[in-house]
Amino acid sequence: MPGKAFVRRIPFRESALTELVEELQRAATDEERRLARHLLDFPTVYVVHKGDGAGRYEVYVGETSDIRSRTVQHLRADILVREDWADLAKATDAEMYVIGHQHFTKSMTLDVENRLMHWLNGSDAVGRLHNRRHNPQNDYYSRDLFDAAFRDTWNQLRRHDDFLFPTEKIVRESALFKASPFHKLTQQQLAAKARIHDAIVDARVSNATGQLILVEGSAGTGKTVLLSSLFYDLFMEDVARDVMAGLDNLNAWLLVNHDQQLTVYEQIALKLGLSRRAGDRVSKPTRFINSRGEGRDPVDVVLVDEAHLLWTQGKQSYRGSNQLADLRSRARVVVAIFDPQQMVATNQYWEPAQLRQLRDSAAQVIELDEQMRMTSSEATYRWVRDLVDLRQVSDIPQDPNYEVKVFDDPHALYAAIREKAEDEGHGLSRLTATFDWEFVEKRRNNGKTWDVEIDTFRVPWNLQLEYSAAERRDLRGRSWAERPRSIDEIGSTFTVQGFDLDYAGVIIGPSVTYRDGRIVFDPLASANRNATQRRTLADGSKAIVAEDLLRNELNVLLTRGVRGLYLYAVDPELRQALLAARHP
């Protein structure tokens, strides 16, 4: 049975609560008595909100076994010791949703509370989201009813306010939703997090410096979700005191070299109150390294997402020789999310011997191997891996849960991705391409855009469309793929790396060819000078490592799709091989 949600919306005042209780206690019909029972006598979830002064909401989410006493506690006691509750209680526009359900148990309300935090984190209406914990539950009786109960709850809330509670499609397209710390972790992720927690406590007690924890795994294995959960644990003081065995006031930072990912983490930190302003506890590595010169006390923890994008040679304002080594000298523990198959530039390159030394020097190497992005079968996932790793085009498996589609015309590919992007039943879908057409960021091409051009097909590269001042304000904090008009552009590894797309369209450019039954990478056909220029090796010699980096570029693009991968290859032989690989 799907059950039924019960939602009542009242002003956040004790008098309004008293009126609601008295009304429910006067219940005369069976329906009214059911409502009263599920709101007053059973576990409930509640959402309190007020305006934040900037056209959005400040929101608190909680759960309780007694909505009457919990609300009175917030309005009488918590306002004396908590600034957030004092502000909510004083606000004239503050309201509360009281939520019950026929299937709510204590365990389910904890799960509903957690998922509400997760979904509201992806709502543009929320400027600040309050809570002091995250409580995803393991298995429990009636767990199989949770998804239906939550969706019914969300839909009931949408009837009251569809700005605060938008459609599921809008929520799921948000980069903040995808990188949220409120994802339910797998047992593998939970075990990894526990090991990292223990290492941080040990390092803090022993005053150790430079301990490295490498978290490895291929694209889509949940590395960023794990890091985001750690981020919340460390930076949310009440959580940190609990999980860190009483070690409060941890000095922790999250760093990432990827501009789009940096924006996402800054927005998460601000929305959840983990930092007061951009650049506070979330930063780029160079900025952090330069701000903490040699001789200063080390910080407790540095979390590094996409650590394969750290520089292994000097560049621009960074005058060191290896950013990861510099971070280790400035922190007790460095937790680095690392996938060598996603290095895409020569200044990120690690020689095989250096990679072995890096792993040998790590206090722990944690492997994540459960594919969490692609909803495909193992056979389809292996097909993608064989394409990248073995350079083989084998027959595309039939897969009811994941669509691999090959096109013989880029116009048709683009039209199919547009159709997916506009369909309410699908999430975020965008077109991407290997970096085989000229593009210079922040500089126009003789007054025009830099385009991906194939015969009559011509679409601009990413981040070039002009926006009005009002549009720019609305887009502040949004990654490239989240911008509605980015469907009119083509993404590159530099804008989609680390992100999920529902359906990923990939134009495989002329740098990827097919000769004698094998994929061959042609550096001369690539426009990515960061990948094709020579690299100075550890022994002082110079080498071209473009083949490895172009393969990694293809790997990044082919592993973005959650539910589907649409392909067009410029090279005629590769295109024909892919078309021939389709099942009848």
Distances (CA, A) of 505 to 237, 454, 492: 42, 15, 11
Q: What is the pLDDT of residues 509-565, one digit of tens each?
A: 999 999 999 999 999 999 999 999 999 999 999 999 999 999 999 999 999 999 999
Per-domain boundaries in the chain: 5-166, 187-367, 378-580
In which residue are the tokens 């084998």 written? 394
- 3-state secondary structure at position 310: coil
Share of the chain above pLDDT 70, in %: 94
Q: What angle do CA 413, 560, 287 make, to 5 degrees?
A: 125
Q: Which two tokens stand for residue 368?
A: 């994540």
Decide which of 3.40.50.300, 1.20.1270.360, 3.60.20.30, 2.60.120.260 is the CATH code for 187-367: 3.40.50.300
Instruction: Supply the pLDDT for residue 176.
Output: 87
> Would you place residue 303 in the very low, low, confident or very high pLDDT band (cuts 50, 70, 90)?
very high
Among 9-18, 90-99, 475-484, name the one with the lowest average pLDDT: 475-484
Q: What's the pLDDT at 470?
A: 81
Is residue 238's pLDDT more than 50? Answer: no
Which sign, positive or negative, has the C-alpha torsion 282, 284, 290, 295?
Answer: positive
Q: Report the pLDDT value the prediction gives residue 136, as an integer from 0 to 100.
A: 65
Residue 93's pLDDT band (cuts 50, 70, 90): very high
> Can you say whether residue 449 is alpha, beta or left, with left for phi > 0 and alpha for psi between -120 and 50 degrees?
beta
Looking at the predicted structure, is the pLDDT value of residue 474 above 80? no
Given a cut of 50, whether residue 146 has pLDDT beyond it is yes
Mean pLDDT of 439-467: 92
Contact predicate 63/45, CB 8 Å: yes
355-395: pLDDT as tens digits: 999 999 999 999 999 998 899 999 999 999 999 999 999 99
Could you tell me the two tokens for 364?
Answer: 């722990």
Q: Are 267 and 297 in contact (CB under 8 A)?
A: no
Residue-wise pLDDT tens digits, 34-79: 888 889 999 999 999 999 888 899 999 999 999 999 999 999 999 9
DSSP assignment, residue 77?
Answer: I
| pLDDT tens profile 566-579 | 999 999 999 999 99
Contacts of 129 (CB under 8 A, 6+ apart): 59, 60, 61, 117, 120, 121, 271, 272, 273
- Residue 414 CA to residue 459 CA, distance in Å, equals 10
pTM summary value:
0.88
The mean pLDDT value of the chain amounts to: 91
Nearest CA to 417 out of 522, 484, 503, 526 is that of 503
| Cα 257 from Cα 497, distance rounded (Å) | 11
